[in-house]
C-alpha cells in the first residue's frame, strides 16, 4: 500500500438494512408521537363501538355500511388485549402505517433498486398524509397497506411467470436511453 492510498479516506458504506431500520424507527416515532393527544372523533368512536360488538354484529352492520368489515374484525381482536383507550385503538393504524413504510421500501427496491427503495421509504415515513391517517382509528392506512401488499405480491407473481424481472429490466433500460 502506497502512502497516497494510506492517506485516502476509506469509503465505508452503511448497509441498506441499517438505513431501513432507522427509517422504520423514524416512522414508528412519528406515528406514535402524541397518539392520544386528541380525543376520538365521531367516526373513530363509531369504529371502537363497533369493534366492541360480536363478530356477527360487525358483519350485520357491514351489510348496511359502505366500509367492508375487515378493519372492524381486526380492531375487535386488537381491543381484547390492548383495550379501548385513544392510544390503544390508534396503535393498530400506527403499526399498519409503519408496515407500509417497510413495504414501500420493498416495492421501490423491487422495481427500481435499493437507492430508489430507500428514497421511497423516506418519503413514505415523512409523508404528512400517511402520518395523519396512521393516527386515526379508521381503515384508511390499512387500505393503503393492503393495496401496496397486493402490488408487491402481483409483481412477485409476474416475476415467477416471466423469469425474474425480465420485462421490467428491459423497460428500465429503455427509460435510461430515452430519458
Cell of 58: 360487525
Residues of the chain falling short of pLDDT 70:
1-12, 165-179
Q: Which residues lie closer than 8 Å to 73 by C-beta, 6 or more apart? A: 55, 58
Phi and psi at 154, nearest 5°, equal -60, -45
DSSP, res 34: T
Distance CA 107, CA 84 (A): 33
pTM of the model: 0.83
Three-state SS at 117: helix
Helix intervals (H) in 83-165: 86-112, 114-126, 128-134, 140-162
Residue-level pLDDT at 15: 87
> pLDDT tens-digit profile of 123-170?
999 999 999 999 999 999 999 999 999 999 999 999 898 887 655 554
The answer to whether the beta carbons of residues 100 and 144 sit under 8 Å apart is: yes
Confidence (pLDDT) at 65: 87
CA distances from 61 to 46, 91, 101 (A): 11, 24, 32
Q: Residue 162: its pLDDT value, please? A: 87
Amino acid at each position: 500500500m502506497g502512502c497516497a492510498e494510506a492517506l485516502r479516506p476509506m469509503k465505508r458504506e452503511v448497509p441498506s438494512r441499517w438505513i431501513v431500520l432507522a427509517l422504520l424507527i423514524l416512522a414508528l416515532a412519528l406515528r406514535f408521537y402524541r397518539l392520544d393527544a386528541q380525543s376520538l372523533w365521531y367516526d373513530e368512536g363509531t369504529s371502537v363501538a363497533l369493534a366492541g360488538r360480536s363478530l356477527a354484529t360487525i358483519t350485520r352492520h357491514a351489510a348496511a355500511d359502505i366500509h367492508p368489515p375487515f378493519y372492524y374484525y381486526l380492531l375487535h381482536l386488537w381491543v381484547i388485549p390492548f383495550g379501548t383507550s385513544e392510544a390503544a385503538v390508534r396503535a393498530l393504524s400506527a403499526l399498519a402505517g409503519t408496515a407500509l413504510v417497510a413495504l414501500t421500501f420493498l416495492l421501490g427496491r423491487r422495481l427500481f433498486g435499493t437507492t430508489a427503495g430507500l428514497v421511497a421509504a423516506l418519503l413514505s415515513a415523512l409523508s404528512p398524509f400517511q402520518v395523519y391517517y396512521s393516527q386515526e382509528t379508521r381503515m384508511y392506512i390499512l387500505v393503503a397497506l393492503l393495496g401496496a401488499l397486493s402490488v408487491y405480491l402481483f409483481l412477485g407473481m409476474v416475476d415467477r411467470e416471466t423469469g425474474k424481472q425480465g420485462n421490467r429490466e428491459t423497460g428500465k433500460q429503455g427509460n435510461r436511453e430515452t430519458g
